């Protein structure tokens, strides 16, 4: 479905219940984009996988000491699930869930060396060790979806789920703005349930998509 078709479906949903109610296309589009971003931020959508190469440079200052970090890609959504040091031609298997875990693991270590571990936090990707000369590290992650317009199509979602995920999901959001619905209408619950069913279908589609496998140190135990 195109965005225009989804908007028509949403208007039909609402006016079939409240004939005198309606919303501007711009209002519907804003809520639809919000719904899409929330879905993309939770689910591992295959069409949003992206790989990018970053250049790590070591630097030193009086506050933080040695650090190697780069800015997250501007389109970064979530989950760095693969990384490789292209300069050293070696995969990076130590992907930490946060910077605190990375720094704790390497506390007291000589900071210089090739990047063998990364973590992301805030707006940055942190690497350790800190290379004495720049190194290129490639990462794979899930990007944010493109913003929908009146002439676009939500290509990152399966076509058969457009109705449930975007039409029903956005309809439920808009119904919350109608006083009669808040006072006891059951229509919002119906459309939320339709969206929930579609999300379950989407989860089954995304089940085999690559995911982050955070590195946790496990000390050897002797029995």
**Cβ-based neighbours of 50, under 8 Å, separated by 6 or more:** 73, 75, 140, 141, 142, 143
Q: Would residue 161 count as lying in a domain?
A: yes
Residue 62 has pLDDT above 60, yes or no: no
Residues 157 and 193 in one domain: yes
Which of residues 100, 125, 143 is at a domain's end? 143
Residues 105 and 92 in one domain: yes
Residue 25 has pLDDT above 90, yes or no: yes
Token pair recorded at residue 146: 């493109």
Q: Would residue 68 count as lying in a domain?
A: yes
Q: How many domains does the chain have?
A: 2
By mean pLDDT, which of 1-15, 106-120, 137-151, 209-223 is the weakest? 209-223
For residue 31, give the nearest of 10, 15, 16 by alpha carbon: 10
Q: Would residue 223 count as lying in a domain?
A: no
Average of per-residue pLDDT across 119-128: 92
Residues 201 and 139 in one domain: no
Residues 74 and 131 in one domain: yes
Residues 53 and 80 in one domain: yes
Q: Would residue 211 count as lying in a domain?
A: no
Q: Could you give the CA distance from residue 24 to residue 150 in angstroms, rounded to a whole number?
A: 12
Q: Would residue 130 count as lying in a domain?
A: yes
**Cβ-based neighbours of 60, under 8 Å, separated by 6 or more:** 66, 67
Residues 149 and 134 in one domain: no
Residues 53 and 124 in one domain: yes
Average of per-residue pLDDT across 2-21: 95
Residues 137 and 53 in one domain: yes
Q: Would residue 93 count as lying in a domain?
A: yes
Average of per-residue pLDDT across 160-184: 93
Residues 54 and 109 in one domain: yes
* Percentage of the chain lying above the pLDDT 90 cut: 73
What is the predicted pLDDT for the residue at 144?
Answer: 98
Residues 61 and 91 in one domain: yes
Q: In angstroms, what is the C-alpha Rg of the chain? A: 23
The dihedral built from the CA positions of residue 34, 39, 42 and 46, taken in this order, carries a sign that is: negative
Which DSSP category does 150 fall into?
T
Q: Would residue 212 count as lying in a domain?
A: no
Residues 41 and 150 in one domain: yes
What is the predicted pLDDT for the residue at 222?
Answer: 38
Q: Would residue 215 count as lying in a domain?
A: no
Residue 35 is part of which domain span? 3-45+145-206
- Residue 65 region, left (φ>0) first, then alpha (ψ -120 to 50), else beta? left
Beta bridge partners of 128: 117
Q: Could you give the CA distance from residue 131 to residue 116 in angstroms, rounded to a whole number?
A: 10
Residues 83 and 149 in one domain: no
Average of per-residue pLDDT across 179-191: 86
Which of residues 117, 143, 169 is at a domain's end? 143
Token pair recorded at residue 78: 């979530």
Q: CA 126, 124, 89 angle in degrees (round to 5)? A: 45
Residue 58 has pLDDT above 80, yes or no: no
Which of residues 94, 123, 143 is at a domain's end? 143
Q: Could you give the CA distance from residue 147 to residue 75 in angstroms, rounded to a whole number?
A: 11
Which DSSP category does 139 fall into?
E
Residue 152 has pLDDT above 60, yes or no: yes
């Amino acid at each position: 479905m195109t965005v225009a078709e989804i908007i028509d479906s949403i208007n039909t949903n609402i006016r079939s219940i409240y004939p005198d109610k309606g919303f501007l296309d711009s209002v519907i589009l804003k809520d639809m984009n919000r719904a899409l971003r929330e879905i993309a931020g939770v689910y591992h959508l295959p069409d949003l996988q992206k790989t990018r190469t970053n250049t790590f440079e070591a630097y030193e200052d009086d506050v933080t000491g040695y650090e190697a970090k780069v800015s997250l890609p501007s389109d970064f959504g979530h989950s760095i699930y693969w990384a490789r040091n292209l300069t050293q031609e070696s995969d990076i298997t130590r992907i930490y869930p946060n910077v605190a875990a990375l720094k704790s693991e390497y506390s007291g270590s000589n900071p210089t060396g090739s990047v063998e571990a990364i973590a992301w936090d805030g707006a940055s990707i942190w690497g350790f060790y800190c290379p004495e000369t720049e190194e290129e590290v490639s990462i794979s992650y899930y990007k944010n979806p493109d913003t929908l317009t009146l002439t676009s199509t939500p290509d990152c979602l399966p076509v058969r789920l457009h109705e449930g995920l975007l039409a029903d999901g956005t309809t439920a959001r808009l119904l919350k703005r109608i006083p009669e619905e808040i006072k006891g209408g059951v229509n919002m619950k119906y459309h939320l349930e339709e969206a929930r069913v579609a999300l379950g279908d989407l989860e089954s589609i995304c089940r085999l998509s690559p995911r982050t496998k955070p590195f946790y140190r496990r000390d050897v135990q002797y029995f």
